[in-house]
Amino acid sequence: MRWMWIDRVLSLLPAKQLVAIKHVSLAEEHLHDHFAASDGLGPALPVMPASLIIEGCAQAAGILVGHAGDFKEKVILAKVNRAQLTLDAMPGHTLRYTANIDRMDASGASTHVVVERLDHAGTGSTAEQMGKVELMFSHIDQNMKGIAFPEHNFVFGEQFKTLLRTSGVA
């Protein structure tokens, strides 16, 4: 099973923009170790690791890039150009990933993702930008011609197609 770091796609403008969300829950095991209670250091402080937030960005942008080519290309994350996260995400928060394609051609795509944190505590939900991540993707079959890559190693399997379908995105 592949780990999925987005829960739902809210909107999709083909080859332009995808908006997805991730609900952060204390039921997620990684939060119990990051950061666990420790003698002398105080109580637990469950924070979603920045690497997993960046992975959520990569999944949202990767789906957008894959969808632009009708999932015919094997899309891989080639490079994280820049990642800046200024706030923590904790249980009860929702992350909103707004992925945009900046440039796309036969070899791949460059994208940027704005990450917002929605806090549902209190009387209303407030959103604040918590970061921006710039990512590059490669169409590996175009860039590594002659090498056979097995289909099962790529992210656009049934789980992500199911995510798009259940989100109401064809």
Rounded to 5 degrees, what are φ and ψ at 24?
Answer: -90, 125
Single out the catalytic residue among 34, 93, 112, 139. Answer: 34
Q: From CA 6, how far away is CA 63, in angstroms rounded?
A: 11
Whether 82 and 132 have beta carbons less than 8 Å apart is answered as yes
d(CA 81, CA 67): 22
How many angstroms from the chain centroid is the CA of residue 77?
11
The CA distance from 44 to 50, in Å, is: 17
- Enter the tokens of residue 99: 């992925």
Catalytic residue flag (residue 32): no
Mention every residue, 6+ apart, whose C-beta is less than 8 A from residue 84: 131, 132, 133
Catalytic residues, which ones? 34
